[in-house]
Amino acid sequence: MVTLLRLATVALFLFNAGLARAEAPLTLISFDFPPLVNQLEGNQADGYAYRVIQRMFELAGDEFELEFQPPKRALRSAINHPGTCAFPIDRSQERETSLSWIGPVSVSRHGLYSHPDRPQSIVTLNDARQWRIGSYLGSGVGEYLQGQGFNVHLASKPYLSLLMLQAGRVDLWISDTRAAPLTARDRGIELNEPELVFFTTLRSMGCNTSVPQARIRKLAQALLTLYQNGELADIMALEP
């Protein structure tokens, strides 16, 4: 009788411990990338993608804790650390099996920008092969072009590539077409329209594969609800 009672107590403890682990907030890692994510003081955030993520968790009845890291490190953290997700990151074939995906939380159009004083004539993407191109570590588009033989320099943070364009260290800058004017404005840099808009990517939240699939599905269903009831469109229509 004592043995059975002890076993029952242990089983109840393990069950409750499992529930506690399941209910522990996910660690979400992002990076400063206005207007998708605006990093504020005290690990707080705003921005289109952040608002979508925040509302998605509310609908799912789930919780998260937010951290900020450079884009490449954020991606590695999600791949390597249990209970961790990163957003908004490009979903690509190379990354597909490394993470459990929820998205898209944003759709990005990518353009090639030149310095206003040094415009480059680009009609097709292949025309850019002759130029030095700036992007950032963790950018799926930048890494893809680098893999295709383009001369791409990957900086540690998105805005650093703009500074390189300003300084003449690169000839073209790859950026999300919504992010580019804000990044330039915040740093007092003049920027023309892109020479070429050439690629569209789906930005999603990628989670460590240890996160239970039931939890992933619940969050994904909440995101689908935001699409279906029009809330996501309303969030995207808000001023950045």
pLDDT reading at 105 higher than 50? yes
**What is the percent of the chain with per-residue pLDDT over 70, rounded to a whole number?**
90
Give the 3-state secondary structure of residue 154: strand
Q: Helices 179-186 & 158-167, crossing angle to 10 degrees?
A: 70
For residue 123, pLDDT beyond 80: yes
Residues 182-205 pLDDT 10s:
999 999 999 999 999 999 999 999
Task: Using the predicted structure, report yes or no on whether residue 8 has a pLDDT greater than 90.
Answer: no
Predicted pLDDT at 12: 38
Q: Where in the chain is the domain with CATH 3.40.190.10?
A: 25-106+203-237, 109-200
> What is the chain's Cα-based Rg?
21
Please tell me the pTM assigned to this model. 0.83
Domain 25-106+203-237: what homologous superfamily? Periplasmic binding protein-like II (3.40.190.10)
Buried b (16+ CB within 10 A) or exposed e, 188-208: eeebeebbbebbebbbbbbbb
Question: What six digits make up the tokens of 166?
Answer: 């300003």
Position 9 scores a pLDDT of 40
pLDDT in tens, 17-58: 444 445 699 999 999 999 999 999 888 999 999 999 999 999
Q: How many CA atoms lie within 13 A of 82 on its CB side?
A: 5
Mean pLDDT of 164-178: 96
Query: Per-residue confidence at 14, pLDDT binned at 50, 70, 90?
Result: very low
Whether residue 11 is predicted with pLDDT greater than 60 in this model: the reply is: no
Q: Pairing relation of β-strands 44-46 and 84-90? A: unpaired
**CATH 3.40.190.10: does it fit domain 109-200?**
yes
- Mean pLDDT score of the chain: 90
Q: At 172, which amino acid appears?
A: L
**pLDDT higher than 50, residue 10:** no
Whether residue 170 has pLDDT greater than 90: yes
CB 69 within 8 A of CB 31: yes
In this prediction, residue 18 carries a pLDDT of 45
* Cα(111)–Cα(45) distance, integer angstroms: 25
The Cα–Cα gap between 173 and 153 comes to 10
Q: What is the pLDDT of residue 240?
A: 58
